[in-house]
């Protein structure tokens, strides 16, 4: 049985686009319903890096670093606000294989670079996974205002204060994982997005609005075993 995982999430951008709920519903597996804010479902592109990824209970020094790019939305089931991941692109081949086999997560191998340069994160990702639809993303992003606690902001709370995520495994089953962490600290953010084909690679139309962006320096997370729904 796969052990729970501990890790840190660092230098995150939450790049958020409104989507018609009926459009989002058509992209979700049966049993999950779009969660909405201001009448819209939301689709989020999230570049960041994992640090100190390791089985729970192991020393941090034995963990690995894993840059990552996620495409996610917000769902409910039985009244529980949750996240649904369409894809998780990551740098490490062994980590991608392990996540797909043992945690049933839709990881894709990608070439990813993340650097902090002059107060901005420079991020690039190009999906190289055999047989997968290509996806290319390049952006720089940075905080622009004062930090705030996500639970004190309605939209910030909607986006990040969620403690369960769902995925669809390769066999078509729906899996869920519970996570535990302290409340998020967010900053208003700006992003210079030069390339983003991630949404189109998953069947979504190119956005016709500018994203609402938040930055977080990150937090530490514990993730449970994966469970079949």
pLDDT tens-digit map of 22-53: 999 999 999 999 999 999 999 999 999 999 98
Q: Are 158 and 165 in contact (CB under 8 A)?
A: no
Cut 0.75: pTM above it: yes
Separation in Å, CA 218 to CA 12, 71, 104, 116, 133: 7, 18, 24, 14, 29
For the chain, list the domains and their CATH numbers: 5-228 (2.40.400.10)
Q: Rounded to whole angstroms, how far apart are CA atoms 40 and 166?
A: 20
- Helix then strand count (H, E) for the chain reads 4, 14
pLDDT in tens, 143-179: 999 999 999 999 999 999 999 999 988 788 899 999 9
Closest CA to 211 of 40, 18, 13: 18
């Amino acid at each position: 049985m796969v052990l729970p995982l501990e890790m840190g999430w660092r230098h995150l951008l939450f790049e958020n686009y409104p989507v018609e709920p009926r459009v989002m519903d058509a992209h979700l597996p049966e049993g999950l319903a779009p969660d909405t804010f201001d009448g819209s479902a939301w689709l989020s592109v999230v570049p960041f890096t994992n640090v100190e990824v390791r089985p729970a209970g192991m020393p941090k020094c034995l963990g690995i670093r894993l840059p990552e790019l996620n495409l996610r939305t917000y769902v409910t089931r039985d009244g529980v606000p949750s996240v649904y991941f369409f894809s998780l692109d990551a740098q490490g081949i062994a980590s991608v294989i392990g996540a797909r086999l043992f945690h049933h997560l839709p990881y894709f191998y990608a070439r990813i670079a993340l650097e902090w340069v002059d107060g901005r994160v420079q991020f690039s990702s190009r999906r190289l996974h055999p047989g997968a639809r290509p996806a290319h993303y390049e952006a720089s992003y940075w905080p622009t205002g004062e930090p705030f606690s996500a639970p004190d902001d309605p939209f910030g709370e909607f986006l990040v204060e969620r403690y369960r995520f769902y995925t669809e495994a390769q066999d078509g089953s729906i899996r869920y994982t519970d996570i535990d962490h302290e409340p998020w600290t967010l900053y208003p953010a700006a992003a210079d997005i030069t390339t983003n084909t991630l949404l189109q690679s998953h069947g979504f139309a190119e956005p016709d609005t500018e994203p609402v962006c938040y930055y977080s320096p990150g937090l530490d997370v514990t993730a449970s075993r994966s469970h079949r729904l």
